[in-house]
Amino acid sequence: MKRLQAGDRVHLVDPKNRQYALTLKPGEMFQHSGARISHDELIGQLDGTLVTLSNGKIMLAIYPTLAEYTLKMPRGAQVLYPKDLALIPMWADVYPGARVLEAGIGSGALTIALLRAVGQQGQIVSYETRQDFARTAMKNIERYLGVVPNFSLQFQDVYEGIDAGTAEQPQWFDRVIFDLPEPWRAIPHAIQALRRGGIYLSFVPTIPQVVQTVNALEQTREVGLIETFETLLRTWNIKGRSVRPDHRMVAHSGFVTVARKIERGVWRSTTIQQDDLSACDMEPVSKVDHQGKENDST
């Protein structure tokens, strides 16, 4: 069983499910609405323990999930919502052992999600140009994961290029993930740094940004399977016979665009309608008639 330890980031949750973040330090005091509880009373308690504040109010002491942590952690830049953090590693197919380039570290939320996805055998390389963002992100990452040896933060402008080794000794990336205002400017560099079959993903908030991103991807003539989508999250209130959607929801936050690096050339994926099949250049195939006999189509 996991116990709350000094130096750990934990959350206290009130009966209305409001969460309050604190880092446990011996001798420190947590105060809320005039009520208090010492950190020493929390240190050593089991994760998920009910604790009583000085005014008799009961709160729940827990280790936060990544979703809970990212919503309460200090921010240098706007963090991605948990709904996007959950989808990005899946749609980018970030797997244990993958080598991933991330550009635009922000407050470190996406970096944490990617580090958990690649595991100890993978590697995350993050490009960032702003020192203030980098400092906040590193504190958030280390506070949640501790020191991560397979993470490299480089103060480099991704718009100016990506270091992927040399022609003699290439160091390809399996995945390239951008959280940038102008990802299309870095797409040529991203495609050069990606291995064949690797996946590109970018997150932007507006449709004009998506259009420029997709245009830039198509112009490389080295990507296919381009797809753009957004996600909406609606929670529900379930209390006895009262069942309804909550009055508020996490609606639009941004658009995710995904593409796959393929052999250079002119290739375009289209949806073939049934009426178009006769126009396709296809080899004859065998088919089974209604009596189960196999006939050759002509």
CA torsion angle 223 225 226 228 (round to 10): -160
Q: Is 256 exposed, middle or buried (0-12, 13-18, 19+ CB in 10 A)?
A: buried
Residues 78, 83, 86, CA angle at the centre, nearest 5°? 105
Residue 238 gets which letter from DSSP?
E
In terms of phi and psi (left: phi > 0; alpha: psi -120 to 50; beta: otherwise), the region of 228 is beta
pLDDT computed for residue 292 by the predictor: 43
Residue 64 near residue 10 (C-beta atoms within 8 A):
yes
Q: How confident is the model at residue 149 (pLDDT cuts 50, 70, 90)?
A: very high
What gap in Å lies between CA 120 and CA 279, rounded to an integer? 51
Instruction: Count other Cβ atoms within 10 Å, centred on residue 204.
Output: 23
Token couple for 169 = 């000794």
pLDDT computed for residue 267 by the predictor: 62
Question: Quick one: average pLDDT of 194-200?
Answer: 93
Instruction: Count other Cβ atoms within 10 Å, centred on residue 162.
Output: 22
Residue 10 near residue 42 (C-beta atoms within 8 A):
yes
How, if at all, do strands 49-52 and 58-62 pair? antiparallel
Fold adopted by 68-261? Rossmann fold (3.40.50)
How long is the chain? Answer: 298
Distances (CA, A) of 273 to 135, 224, 268, 277, 279: 52, 20, 15, 7, 10
Rg for the chain, CA atoms, rounded: 25
CATH architecture of 9-64: Roll (3.10)
| Greater pLDDT, 108 or 79 | 108
What percentage of residues in the chain have a pLDDT greater than 70?
A: 88
Domain map (residue ranges) of the chain: 9-64, 68-261
pLDDT computed for residue 173 by the predictor: 93
For 133, the 3-state DSSP assignment is helix
Is 0.75 topped by the overall pTM? yes
Q: Which residue has the tokens 């939320």?
A: 109
Residue 269 has pLDDT above 70, yes or no: no
pLDDT computed for residue 72 by the predictor: 87
Token couple for 176 = 């390239």
Q: What is the pLDDT of residues 151-182, one digit of tens each?
A: 999 998 999 988 877 677 778 899 999 999 99
